[in-house]
Amino acid sequence: MELQEKEKIEIEFWKNSASENPSVFTVENFINKNRQAEILLKKINKHDLRKTNPKNILELGAGQGWASCLMKKFIFPQASCIVTDISPYAIESIPYWEKVYQIKIDKAVACKSYQLPFPDDSFDFIFCYAAAHHFVEIEKTLSEVKRVLTKGGQCIFFYEPTCSKLFYPLHLKYVNGQRPEVPEDVLIPSELKKISENIGLKFENHYDHSSQTTDSLVMKLYFTLLNTVPLIKKILPSSSDLRFTKA
């Protein structure tokens, strides 16, 4: 599938989705995002992010911006929070979540993750939640991340599907089967490490699994196995929080 076609599908999804288009705010969407919010909060605590005290925050691939609303309300109320997504239809729904969290996002911009309309050294914290595997230009995205990060600033891709090169074809087929309406990818930590080294970012892969969003007993057992046997995390399909730091 060509790059422009993939990006068009991502953009149009937020326009045409029965439960997530800008004209509706559904119970199903509300419940799903709040389940995700619980996971994100646990990850924030695990990474001890409250101690970082950033002044300027950027979210990439934010969708409707619920994660930035959560960050602004409960974690970094003093910070400026800017939300970006490739789809203007996605960010049209931000007011729903601003109302839920009773806060106001500082700015929302429709742009590509690899073409950020911000000056160099603009943000001391950048993040996305379960979105980086949609970034079809991951190397260019990381180059942009480095450009707009301040010295010592960090970027975290939370809750990303990852696996080794060996299991990539199998895991790619699985994730696309789970959500066929938009193109999905799987991130390979070893490749991200090489990209990071080439562009001058420090890379850390934090394997972190959650069975919270599945009711499948098989999947819950699988996640338990991954958490019990550290070695297989590097081989089998998994999920990770991926941290990039600008020296």
- Asked whether residue 61 is domain-assigned, the answer is yes
Q: What is the pLDDT of residues 204-239, one digit of tens each?
A: 999 887 655 556 788 778 878 877 777 888 888 989
Tell me the pLDDT band of 153, cut-offs 50, 70 and 90: very high
Q: What is the pLDDT of residues 6-35, one digit of tens each?
A: 999 999 999 999 999 999 999 999 999 999
- Asked whether residue 192 is domain-assigned, the answer is yes
- Asked whether residue 170 is domain-assigned, the answer is no
Share of the chain above pLDDT 70, in %: 98
How many domains in the chain? Answer: 1
- Asked whether residue 16 is domain-assigned, the answer is yes
Q: Domain containing 98 — which CATH number?
A: 3.40.50.150
- Asked whether residue 54 is domain-assigned, the answer is yes
Its domain, for residue 123, covers 3-158+187-209+242-246
Q: What is the pLDDT of residues 38-77, one digit of tens each?
A: 999 999 999 999 999 999 999 999 999 999 999 999 999 9
- Asked whether residue 104 is domain-assigned, the answer is yes
For residues 138 and 131, what is the distance between their CA atoms, to the nearest angstrom?
11
Within 10 Å of residue 143's Cβ, how many Cβ atoms?
16
Q: What was the pLDDT predicted at 106? A: 98
For range 163-192, the mean pLDDT: 92
Mean pLDDT of the chain: 94
For residues 3 and 35, what is the distance between their CA atoms, to the nearest angstrom?
31
- Asked whether residue 164 is domain-assigned, the answer is no
- Residue in 116, 94, 114, 115 with CA at minimum distance from that of residue 106: 94
129 strand-pairing partners: 158
Is 184 within 8 Å of 175 (Cβ atoms)? yes
- Asked whether residue 177 is domain-assigned, the answer is no
Residues 6+ apart with CB under 8 A from 6: 136, 183
Query: Alpha-carbon torsion 220, 225, 230, 236, what sign?
Result: negative
